[in-house]
């Protein structure tokens, strides 16, 4: 049996010798490459934390000691060391989550895929331990240098530094990258620490200690416990950390098992908050990832493990369309600037940054700052385009509401991966944006249905200079073009089907669900039910043209990939009622709950968002409306009021 196969819980690591741990580290990397290449997932980050995670689980006693990862996509090694060694269905329905999950293991604390939160979690857990008298329990927060660019991390540090009796260890996993090279003043500070004279001294600790601990084959990590040479050089607070009043250990070679374990044992012994600064390399041990300069291996699809190349080339996607179009816009308009929150390449801004680097601003993992800074830029005469994953806009709602919208700032927000993303799980589904953004006064939101409408609506959005505009689109490949067959004012008409009694149903397809609405109309037509299919293009606010069209129908059906309650369907219903149009509205969207990880088609099927589901429910509503024989649709039925 392999060494990895013998590990069922962290305590199993304690009996391993130094050489055995080195073998285990290689087995872990081999397993990650082999398994993730078949399923897709976050490969690069996990290859970089193998020794770091091994050291944490040898020094601390999970689950009694709590280990919190920020972000959770670097927890694959942790999963393997805590008894979860079947990655065959990683990120698939019924398989392991790509993030920590309390449903999977008592060793998991936070389903943490939104960065910069781990220190607040750790502070809260450590406070609870202190208040309840559990002073022999430790909390370990593993946070990347990229996550430390987020303001919430510094809010937590501000409170942690006051807690000198709390057993809290902060491990800074410093690989100089998040999705891309980490930027900002804190990144420069870490650079200075990495290049300090004492760093080389720390890098050699583990190897020298092992050399002195016995003959080859008998070396153990226990020999490190008494090794104190040079300790004062590395536990002295340095620079910024000294100003914060934090004890600091490092920098430590995060791939030197002996050095990492020694540093963590020293940190554990302090009995108060300590920062352990570990230098790691993203993609460590896997040549394609180590040679990559574009962070393609941060998260991968199915790849050939030998080369790292995709098994199936990616189809031209939504993000690529944005990437092309924003470059064209910026070439023609010198006032347009782009803002990203540490995700330059994933949101499609890399081409613009290459051509016009002075017009692209990376603020780090700081969505709140991104929005308010954009409001400031708009006030000073620029038009910022803030590109985010839809799920991360949740973090900057207040700034959008009070800094952008209240001040009528001309800011365009482009939301990638809106709607159902699926395999990344509950925290990454961009399903909240429509309901959230509906509450923002004066905000205009476009949901393109194909490449042409994407390009057109982005240009229209950037032309608005007195209110926030949003363009949202899903993850993945582009659908087939869906041209309009006509127009009703600003509304695109996509299809009309004749029925026995004329047009009865108005199907409103929101963005990516427009194709579903067209297919549902065809199914209704086969049943003799006439319909009109439209794409409002700009779904917020609800247009007068859409209301006028709805008033000519007997039933309105709205299909969206956001929340079914509080989203666009609800907005249409409310607008119709306010305008005095007594037209029933049927909404098809996602439930008001967190969704388990699964593929998008599985989620669409599970929550009855397929065309046949929409058609079946619409047909049922039509049948209910016509239940009184010969009663004209849209007219109130006469009721028998006799006793």
Q: Is 145 annotated as a binding residue?
A: yes
Q: Are 394 and 354 in contact (CB under 8 A)?
A: no
The active-site residue out of 325, 367, 451, 457 is 367
The active-site residue out of 92, 177, 282, 537 is 282
Q: Are 408 and 442 in contact (CB under 8 A)?
A: yes
Q: Per the omega criterion (within 30 degrees of 0), is the bond before 71 cis? A: yes
Q: Is 12 annotated as a binding residue?
A: no
Q: What are the residues facing 533 on neighbouring strands?
A: 495, 507
Strand order in the sheet with 168-174: 66-70, 139-144, 168-174, 274-279, 247-253
Q: Is 620 annotated as a binding residue?
A: no
Q: Is 593 annotated as a binding residue?
A: no
Q: Is 147 annotated as a binding residue?
A: yes
C-alpha angle with apex 582: 580 to 585, nearest 5 degrees? 120
φ/ψ of 20, rounded to 5, equals -65, -40
Tokens coding 514: 């427009």
DSSP state of 300: B
Contacts (Cβ under 8 Å, ≥6 apart) of 509: 449, 494, 515, 516, 517, 518, 533, 534, 535, 559
The active-site residue out of 91, 395, 449, 600 is 395
Active site (annotated) includes residue 282: yes
Dump strand ranges (E) for 519-609.
Answer: 530-535, 538-540, 555-563, 585-590
Q: Are 501 and 509 in contact (CB under 8 A)?
A: no
Contacts (Cβ under 8 Å, ≥6 apart) of 629: none
C-alpha angle with apex 594: 588 to 598, nearest 5 degrees? 85
How many helices (H) and strands (E) the chain has is answered by: 26, 18
Q: Are 392 and 363 in contact (CB under 8 A)?
A: no
Active site (annotated) includes residue 207: no
φ/ψ of 139, rounded to 5, equals -125, 130
Q: Tell me the DSSP string of 447-496.
A: ---SHHHHHHHHHHHHT--SS-EEEE--SSB-------SEEETTEEEEEE
Q: Is 22 annotated as a binding residue?
A: no
Contacts (Cβ under 8 Å, ≥6 apart) of 288: 297, 307, 308
d(CA 265, CA 262) in angstroms, rounded, equals: 5
412-416 vs 469-472, strand pairing mode? parallel
Q: Is 115 annotated as a binding residue?
A: yes
Q: Is 175 annotated as a binding residue?
A: yes
Q: Which helix (H) or strand (E) holds 190?
A: helix 185-194
Q: Are 423 and 599 in contact (CB under 8 A)?
A: yes
Helix (H, G, I), strand (E, B) or coil at 38: helix
Q: Give the annotated binding-site residues for Mg(2+).
A: 145, 175
Could you give the residue numbers annotated as active site?
282, 367, 395
Q: Give the annotated binding-site residues.
A: 73, 113-115, 145-147, 175, 286, 367
Q: Give the annotated binding-site residues for thiamine diphosphate.
A: 73, 113-115, 146-147, 175, 286, 367
């Amino acid at each position: 049996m392999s060494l990895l196969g013998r590990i069922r819980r962290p305590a199993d690591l304690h009996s391993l010798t130094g050489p055995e741990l080195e073998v285990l580290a290689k087995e872990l990397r081999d397993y990650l490459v082999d398994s993730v290449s078949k399923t897709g997932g976050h490969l690069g980050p996990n290859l970089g934390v193998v020794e770091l995670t091994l050291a944490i689980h040898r020094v601390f006693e999970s689950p009694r000691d709590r280990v919190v990862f920020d972000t959770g996509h670097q927890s694959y090694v942790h999963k393997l060391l805590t008894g979860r060694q079947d990655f065959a269905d990683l990120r698939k329905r019924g398989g392991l989550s790509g993030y920590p999950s309390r449903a999977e293991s008592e060793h998991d604390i936070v389903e943490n895929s939104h960065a910069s939160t781990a220190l607040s979690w750790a502070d809260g857990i450590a406070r609870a331990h202190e208040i309840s008298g559990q002073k022999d329990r430790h909390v370990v927060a593993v946070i990347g240098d990229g996550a430390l660019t987020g303001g919430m991390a510094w809010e937590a540090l501000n409170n942690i530094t006051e807690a000198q009796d709390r057993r809290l260890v902060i491990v800074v996993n410093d690989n100089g990258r998040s999705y891309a090279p980490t930027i900002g003043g804190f990144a420069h500070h870490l650079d200075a620490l990495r290049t300090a004279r004492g760093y080389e001294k720390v890098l050699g600790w583990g190897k020298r200690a092992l050399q002195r601990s016995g003959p080859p084959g008998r070396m153990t990590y226990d020999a490190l416990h008494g090794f104190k040479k040079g300790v004062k050089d590395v536990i002295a607070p340095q620079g910024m950390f000294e100003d914060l009043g934090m004890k600091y250990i490092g920098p430590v070679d995060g791939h030197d098992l002996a050095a990492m374990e020694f540093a963590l044992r020293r940190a554990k012994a302090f009995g108060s908050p300590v920062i352990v600064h570990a230098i790691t390399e993203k993609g460590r041990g896997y040549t394609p990832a180590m040679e990559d300069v574009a962070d393609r291996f941060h998260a991968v699809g199915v790849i050939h493990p030998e080369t790292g190349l995709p098994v199936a080339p990616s189809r031209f996607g939504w993000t690529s369309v944005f990437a092309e179009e924003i470059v064209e816009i910026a070439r023609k308009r010198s006032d347009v600037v782009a803002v990203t929150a540490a995700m330059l390449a994933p949101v499609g801004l890399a081409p613009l940054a290459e051509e016009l680097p002075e017009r692209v601003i990376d603020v780090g993992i700081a969505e709140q700052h991104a929005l308010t800074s954009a409001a400031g830029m708009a006030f000073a005469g620029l038009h910022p385009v803030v590109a985010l994953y839809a799920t991360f806009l949740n973090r900057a709602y207040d700034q959008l509401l009070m800094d952008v919208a209240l001040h009528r700032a001309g800011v365009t927000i482009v939301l990638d991966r809106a709607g159902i993303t699926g395999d990344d799980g509950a925290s990454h589904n961009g399903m909240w944006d429509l309901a959230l953004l509906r509450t923002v006064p004066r905000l205009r939101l476009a949901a393109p249905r194909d490449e042409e409408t994407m390009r057109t609506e982005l240009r229209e959005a950037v032309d608005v200079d007195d209110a926030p505009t949003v363009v949202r689109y899903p993850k993945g490949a582009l659908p087939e073009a869906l041209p309009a067959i006509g127009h009703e004012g600003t509304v695109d008409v996509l299809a009309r089907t004749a029925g026995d009694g004329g047009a009865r149903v108005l199907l409103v397809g929101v963005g990516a669900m427009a194709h579903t609405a067209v297919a549902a109309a065809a199914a209704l037509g086969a049943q003799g039910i006439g319909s009109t299919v439209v794409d409002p293009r700009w779904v917020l606010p609800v247009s007068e043209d859409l209301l006028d069209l709805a008033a000519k129908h007997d039933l309105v059906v709205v299909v969206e990939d956001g929340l079914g309650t509080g989203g666009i369907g609800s907005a249409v219903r409310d607008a119709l009622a306010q305008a005095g149009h007594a037209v029933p509205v049927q909404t098809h969207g996602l439930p008001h709950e967190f969704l388990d990880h699964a593929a998008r088609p599985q989620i669409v099927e599970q929550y009855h968002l397929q065309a046949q589901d929409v058609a079946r429910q619409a047909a049922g509503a039509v049948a209910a409306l016509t239940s009184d024989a010969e009663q004209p649709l849209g007219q109130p039925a006469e009721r028998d009021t006799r006793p």
